[in-house]
């Protein structure tokens, strides 16, 4: 690892620690209230109405809570997929027939039961709800560091990428490497950011 890359990794690590601490510091009631507000805002957008095949994720406790968004997608007849880890830095999208079909997967993250879902090729997705630790208003994103989403989004060439994030996750700048992918839109409890890509 050269000096520049080492410095970039250190910057990413420091930012990740800082933002995760801020996100974990939010109260449960704040998370629930603002997650619902962000879901309502998102569901009023054309992005929600146009979606046919979506990759979403099962939220961890300190992330924006997406359960009601997934319920609304399913109720609207949208094909919902969630990630399943298949190797180092590699994941696939597996359909989720209903929320009862979630089982515990890698890293304790809920994932679709492989016996009940089927794999969707990345190019068939038209929307990805993208998790992340930190974002800026130009769509730059910092993830957890394993690279699953960056590698996957590079292959999902037809999908619009939208992040739902708390305003404490927005920062002035996000250190990025060549392989890091961006998002098209960010929804926070304070507003919508259409990113300049």
The annotation places the binding site for ATP at 12-16, 141-149
Report the C-alpha gap between 68 and 141 in whole angstroms: 24
Question: Do 141 and 114 touch, CB atoms closer than 8 A?
Answer: no
Question: Residue 104, class by beta-carbon neighbours within 10 Å (0-12 exposed, 13-18 middle, 19+ buried)?
Answer: exposed
Token digits of residue 134:
């930190």
Residue 163's SS3 state is: strand
Binding residues for substrate: 63
Binding residues: 12-16, 63, 141-149
């Amino acid at each position: 690892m050269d000096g520049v890359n080492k410095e970039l990794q250190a910057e990413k690590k420091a930012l990740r620690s800082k933002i995760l601490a801020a996100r974990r510091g939010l109260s449960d009631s704040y998370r629930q209230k603002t997650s619902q507000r962000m879901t309502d805002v998102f569901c009023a957008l054309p992005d929600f109405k146009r979606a046919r095949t979506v990759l979403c994720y099962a939220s961890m406790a300190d992330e924006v809570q997406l359960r009601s968004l997934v319920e609304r997608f399913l109720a609207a007849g949208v094909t919902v997929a969630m990630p399943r880890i298949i190797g180092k830095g590699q994941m696939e999208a597996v359909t989720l027939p209903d929320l009862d079909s979630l089982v515990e997967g890698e890293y304790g993250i809920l994932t679709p039961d492989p016996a009940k879902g089927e794999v969707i090729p990345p190019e068939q997705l038209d929307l990805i709800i993208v998790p992340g630790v930190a974002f800026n208003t130009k769509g730059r994103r910092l993830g957890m560091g394993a690279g699953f989403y960056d590698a996957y989004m590079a292959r999902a060439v037809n999908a619009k990428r939208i992040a739902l994030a708390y305003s404490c996750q927005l920062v002035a700048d996000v250190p990025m490497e060549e392989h890091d992918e961006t998002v098209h839109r960010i929804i926070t409890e304070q507003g919508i950011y259409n990113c300049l890509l």
